[in-house]
Structure 1
């Protein structure tokens, strides 16, 4: 039997909402009556009802409500469009909009927030919950009124807050140091809509060759949003170690914002990691506008797919990589830049930004940020509708006395036009013949199935050997294929089937020895460790065979299972990529598969006899170090180049 409800006398005075005006927008009369009744019971002074979105917009011409309760599914003009149009009008843009909807998926809820909702209530309506949310938003509304009434008094304080917020941005000294020491030119500009705002950008040098750049845009404007930027700056400044893995960093930040942001508040976010040693850009996004990468006079929008931070604990973020060599440029911005309105009221939007940016940069490749903003949003001809941030990142182009890139493409069974997109994104040279008088360093792009050509490619001083599957060329190239133009760097990327069939570890070690990157004495231990690492990547990674050999009746059954899995095109076409480069007096060999990933420490702690355990134990005995990345798909092994 349930315990009886015990009603205790209230010790607090109910707030007075008689001053408040609430507009209820719903096409169902019974729903309007229910919502109006709850609001009236809570002491709301004035309740206005509208039968659909158009009626709502019409009544807003004469009534200024303190809160709008808005249905989504309505005739004539639905809730999404109504919400967007309300937010587009400056005189209405700060009205709290409480959306009531039966659409409950994360995508639907996100769509509500993207349209401009302040909060979301899921149907069926629970009166107690609605009352609580009404009180929260009306109390915020009351505070806003108070702030407006005291505007002159706080104007000086607002100016002071703006100066304080500016101290969060990178200093001119730090930017000058990056420009002088690394040829990395970074400019940033933040233009709040209301003196202070929810936009912030940051710069965090993690080492001599790693620089992290972020741009965040908190929902809302003014002081409320600005306070979130101060919290973010304080939190991020303590997370230098986590920044080395962009996707994991966003996951960490999302959890922290979930715990600290007010309900209904969120932030879009771009996080980039510039690797000056490897000429790479690694990034992850959380619903931010797509940054524009300029590479070899080609313009590319980077993928920032991901839920904004602070919305849900179930958000998943992906990490991406692209070549970022000298001469490359990147424009990162908040949506305030694309929301800038021209004189006729139309917004620039993403396509308009690209249309204005491309001709300007092609005519002025050395343009600074001021020139870009003038080309995109000419002064006096446009107006802000949101906090606006733009960050312009340029790597100084190579000069005549810089090291010449000796690499050239060597295509087998495939045409240049087919691989042009990959060549651009990976910043590979377009030339297909060696530079006269320079050592030849071919980048072999070989059509899948040409085993003899693959074998022959290992006989030269190659920069890379990449097996190409034609129908994969329409997809973004895997991030592990980014290859800097270093003469002490080589890369091999083959499909699972080919890596299983060829003596890949031997071919790689012979190539390292032939070019003097390792000694004959060191080759033996490197070969054994690399064989184990490749076997793990092929069998346990790409083929997802996690049962130990002893689980099979005999070895014949074990090999039969491997052949069965190789017959699966999805698994057979996954890649095994081996990246080799020098690091001081060591050779670093990174093996990356495209399976689900695993953490070797977890596996060995659980049961040393399980798959990966014995092989990784052998690798740990032979290698000087092992680093695990990409969720367990990538294993970086370091070895001394010579044995004592």
Structure 2
């Protein structure tokens, strides 16, 4: 019989005790969630151990707490005790002592129950987290499902610092046979940085499929990120279009390390240095979408990388740096497998603090273009004249509207990127240097670049008079589109009709780009009119 008050005291603490009288009781008492505390007389210990060994423990079993009862001060070997024994009581004992022992069992029981509840809650949270991670992975997988994979022109090394990559690499076939690439680096790393890759990727794929110019792709991604991202987040990016025949790169770079163009003989031919602020910082009105067009020899290579590569070893005051990385790549003959092995070895010596991406593009014919009866150009000549005043310049994108109309004609859609680039450069020159009377010289520095576009926005908002006239004449017999862009500005002096004075400071790289894409470039009307022929060769 239990010491007087023992059972009542246990019940008072919310514990229902069960005393083992015989072996038959154990099957019931040891069932999960049955007894809370078992009071086990010393004589029943061998039977208890035998029963526990012969009976498989149920799945998710919660064995009760066992208190061994002694009737006298017996020497008890601890190895004989079941593992679930939490206390040994020698009865009878003073009521005060018994009360304290009962209280100890109750506290132990409460701790165990609290731990079980916490474990249950943690399990639910873990399962919830797994489901959320699964959903996020599916979203990213679907977002990048249109990416071009296993293309022979592209070799990559993409090493995220955590599960989610804040670096972004995308490749897509253009609608006119060109190959589009985007290498981006969002602020930070991990999931917060990776969030911005979703809208950027969807915009990139949609516009590449429609063969939109690099400048339009950069502008639209910037608009999306500027609207969606917090103020302290942005995306350094290099957007490249490799022409269908593989001999031209049209590119836009904002905040990225300089990419390298490597000639087939292994010598560095050119650097694609950043010329803009990263995507997502400027509003659409402030954004500068101008691109650069670089001719490359067939079988040249373009090496692109994010700053995580050149910042390897920063914490050890031994960063790889642009020069160190370039020198190592040159020693490895610009071979991507060797570069990959070099980076992986460096990661064993230098600590990485950011996502790391290296991309090598092999410049050759893409092989995407194929004969299409719809490529036959329209035999019908046409002319178009558009007059743009201050209000249209502030509120519309005239060049996009013009190009969209022109490229609805048979066989002209494939010229959309280059024609857009040439015409937009001529239009922007007329607007900025003609109507707004600005110089490109301040854009040579980062601070001057930002100030330039702030001033541009202010002048455009105040503009009350002036006009830009754009004329296009499609000449199918000569396989060209004759373009004339005239502004009502002050003009400038020039040596002859093909060479304006101080063109480098007045027009920046825009004039060079027009020369690359067109022929028969000429100036007239005291520098207020630029004319060129855009060839429609195959």
TM-score normalised by length of structure 2: 0.46
Larger radius of gyration: 2
Relative CO higher for 1 or 2, CA cutoff 8 Å, sep ≥ 6? 2
TM-score normalised by length of structure 1: 0.39
